[in-house]
Structure 1
Amino acid sequence: MNGLHLIGDIYRCRGAHDTLTRRAALEELCVGECRDAGLSPLGAYFYQFENAEGEPAGVTGTVVLAESHLAIHTWPETGDATLDVYVCNFSRDNSARARQVFRRVIEVLAPAEIVAHEVVRGRLPVGA
């Protein structure tokens, strides 16, 4: 189960507002970036929240990957989002692919501030 988990808290996004508020735009971005990086999307579920006036508000979504997953949640009221990209490195090292997806989604959102963490998961092989 060795893998890499990238975790980002993304603040005051200045990118396309539709990406924070429109389910289809965010899903297209996330699935597309996973594919472009060479990962294998198996399915996606994105949910559109609405404000009190029935207009699009935040979005929460997950892309299930053969290699693991991407999860994203947006708060357009404050321009914030959280992003998790986790990949398993069992049959090949997917770390560079995960970093590419993470970087590209953040570039599109264009935040003023990012708090990011990389967590190596699993155990190293005996003798490593």
Structure 2
Amino acid sequence: MDTMGRHIIAELWDCNPEKLNDMEYVERLFVDAALQAGAEVREVAFHKFAPHGVSGVVIISESHLTIHSFPEHGYASVDVFTCGDRIDPAIAAHYIADGLDAKIRENVEIPRGMGPVEVPAATVQHVN
């Protein structure tokens, strides 16, 4: 193992606003994303804001997945952090982006626990 963990920060734009505002959908999507990546789900907590927006966390044995959604902007801020080298956080991040119909996806992956952080450039993907 080269790192103690991998942390993906995903900026998702041009998402489906109805999905971003549907707490039950987002919660199910995040649990499914964790399971798709092979993680073990421990706790789930989501909150629906008025008039719009969802925030939530899925605690996994390997760390966590989080979201803050802004349906009025078609935007979601997503973190997927996994400890160890058994789980690939990119699998969960991609699953989430697909599930929210994100047309623009900016991902930064940061290795954790390796000393001073060197933040790599974001990878940007435009999906038609």
Taking every aligned residue pair, what percent have the same amino acid on both sides? 30
Post-superposition Cα deviations, 1:18-61, rounded to whole Å, max 9, x if no partner, equal 4201111100010112112210110111000111xxxxx10000
Alignment correspondent of 2:45: 45
Partner of 1:21: 21
Which amino acid in 1 is paired with 2:4? N
In 2, Cα distance between equivalents of 1:12 and 1:83: 14
Post-superposition shift, 1:115?
A: 1.8
Give RMSD over aligned pairs: 1.6
The answer to whether the Cα contact below 8 Å between 1:3 and 1:95 also exists between their aligned partners in 2 is no
Larger RCO (alpha carbons 8 Å, 6+ apart):
1
Q: AA paired with 1:10?
A: L
Residue matched to 2:97: 106
Question: Across the two proteins, how many residue pairs are aligned to each other?
Answer: 113
TM-score of the superposed pair, with normalisation by structure 1: 0.82
From 6, 9, 34, the equivalent of 2:8 is: 6
Structure 2 stretches of 5 or more lacking a match?
A: 116-128
Unaligned runs of 5+ in 1: 52-56
Q: Distance in 1 between matches of 2:64 and 2:109?
A: 15
Verify the 8 A CA contact 1:3 1:88 in the aligned structure 2: yes
Partner letter of residue 50 of structure 1?
A
CA contact (8 A) 1:4 1:86 kept: yes
Map of 1:76 onto structure 2: 71
Give CA deviations for 1:70-117 in whole Å, capped at 9, x if unaligned: 01110000110011000001xxx1352x11100010011122222210
Q: Which has the larger radius of gyration?
A: 1
Query: How far apart are the structure 2 equivalents of 1:38 and 1:109?
Result: 20
The AA in structure 1 aligned to 2:91 is: Q
